[in-house]
Amino acid sequence: MPEILILGASYTGIPAAHRFLRALPDHKVTLVNPSTDLYWNPAAPRAIAKDHAFSENNDGLFEPFLPAFDAYPKERFEFIQGTATALDPVAKTVTVLADREIVLNYDHLVITTGARTIGDTPFKQLGTTEETRKALAEYQQKIQAAKTIVLSGAGPTGVETTGEIATLFKGQGKKIYLLDPSEGPLPMLKESVREEARKQLESLGVTVLMKTSVTKEADGKLELSNGQVIEADLHIPTYGLIPNTKFVPKEMLDNTRSVKVDKHMRSIEYPNIWAAGDVASVKIKSLLSATPMLDAMTANFISVAQGGEVVKEYKDDMTPMVVPIGGGFAMGTGQMFGWRVLGLLVWLVKGRSYFIGKAKSTALAKEITGGKV
């Protein structure tokens, strides 16, 4: 029975496993992941600022994904809780550190190990559920205690997190700074959206410093590129993703350490290896872009596994973006099809709950954001 090995139970890894199990009944699927839960990280900007933001101890952010796999025969599906440490694409083996070190053979390999953040902040899953919960709790305590907070990076994560902290502690004397080397918050969006984000953040008491970055950090002091020095109790990096590819040979990676893939989500180096999500060499990496990546990768994988050719291209296009700013009524902005999104729509669509209601159904493979499994 041909072996399909999937590394990473993510927004692409989980539904890919189900699609392969349904479409390829003569194949076995092995899924490897350090946790048995899906971490609903879109809600992390609110959870990092406040415990019980969504449920008791924010339990709703962690949803078990294994129950949905009970529907398949045991001989066709296996889960291993562990982390990949080495890949030999010539021998077609992956070394995994679980309760012991094991070597897994594969015929087809799918890499969906995602990414981590600079500073290992809990905007992405940090190993096991327990490790991620611990990091969230530690940040909540640090934010509560800090009098001066600096956030570096004014992309969606930085703007959302800054808005959540500023709203939660408004009027309590905290000094909150948001820095970015670009000309405005949300630099990937049009000028009117950037200006609206800046105005809303400043209305919450945030000091927004654009064309500014941290050049040195020591003993609680941040030296900025504009010559300013801030004595900060807490510095939260909110920029940059580091693909989880330490185990992947260098020749398979680009200069961002992402797995080099073609327009079919297939490894450029090895035709039996595929990748999708934050780990793949695409321009746009977001929750919404995960869906078209998944669709292209699984359609091509299944066709090739059945003896056919690749059938679907991934188009690396900008996806709609809505960015809540604090969760207050009509607070937020965004861009959709070139138009600025009104704050009321942002609040209705995302600001109230960060799509937390989709976490369980996504973990159980009932749906993925943007389409069905």
Q: What is the pLDDT of residues 85-129, one digit of tens each?
A: 999 999 999 999 999 999 999 999 999 999 999 988 999 999 999
Q: pLDDT category, 56, cuts 50, 70, 90? A: confident
**342 close to 355: Cβ distance less than 8 angstroms:** no
pTM to 2 decimal places: 0.93
Q: pLDDT category, 54, cuts 50, 70, 90? A: confident
203-218 mean pLDDT: 95
Q: What is the pLDDT of residue 372?
A: 55
Residue ranges per structural domain of the chain: 3-34+82-118+241-318
Q: What is the pLDDT of residue 235?
A: 97
**207 close to 180: Cβ distance less than 8 angstroms:** no
Query: In this predicted model, what pLDDT tens digit does every residue of 311-356 receive, in sequence order?
Result: 999 998 877 899 999 988 999 999 998 899 999 999 999 999 999 9
Query: In this predicted model, what pLDDT tens digit does every residue of 225-251 receive, in sequence order?
Result: 999 999 999 999 999 899 999 999 999
Q: What is the pLDDT of residue 365?
A: 85
Q: How far apart are CA 149 and CA 165, in angstroms?
A: 9
DSSP 267: B
Q: What is the pLDDT of residue 332?
A: 96
Task: Classify domain 3-34+82-118+241-318 by CATH architecture.
Answer: 3-Layer(bba) Sandwich (3.50)
CB-count exposure of residue 171 (10 Å: 0-12, 13-18, 19+): exposed
Q: What is the pLDDT of residue 289?
A: 85
**350 close to 333: Cβ distance less than 8 angstroms:** no
Q: How far apart are CA 79 and CA 36, in angstroms?
A: 9
Residue 3's closest CA among 90, 75, 100? 75
26-48 mean pLDDT: 96
**112 close to 244: Cβ distance less than 8 angstroms:** no
Q: pLDDT category, 369, cuts 50, 70, 90? A: very low
254-277 mean pLDDT: 97
Q: What is the pLDDT of residue 316?
A: 83
Q: SS3 for 164?
A: helix
**Spatial CB neighbours of 172, under 8 Å, sequence gap ≥ 6:** none
Q: How far apart are CA 12 and CA 29, in angstroms?
A: 15
What are the tokens at 162? 């800054």
Q: How far apart are CA 109 and CA 267, in angstroms?
A: 10
Helix (H) or strand (E) holding 33: strand 28-33
Q: What percent of the chain has pLDDT over 90?
A: 86
Q: How far apart are CA 212 and CA 296, in angstroms?
A: 39
Residue 29's closest CA among 16, 39, 41? 16
pLDDT at 373 over 90: no
199-219 mean pLDDT: 95
Q: How far apart are CA 158 and CA 241, in angstroms?
A: 13
- Terminal alpha carbon distance of the chain: 24
**356 close to 40: Cβ distance less than 8 angstroms:** yes
82 vs 368, residue with greater confidence: 82
Q: What average pLDDT does the structure give for the chain?
A: 93
Q: How many CA within 13 A on the CB side of residue 264? A: 17
Q: pLDDT category, 286, cuts 50, 70, 90? A: confident
Q: pLDDT category, 370, cuts 50, 70, 90? A: very low
**326 close to 163: Cβ distance less than 8 angstroms:** yes
Q: What is the pLDDT of residue 234?
A: 97
**326 close to 178: Cβ distance less than 8 angstroms:** no
Q: What is the pLDDT of residue 151?
A: 97
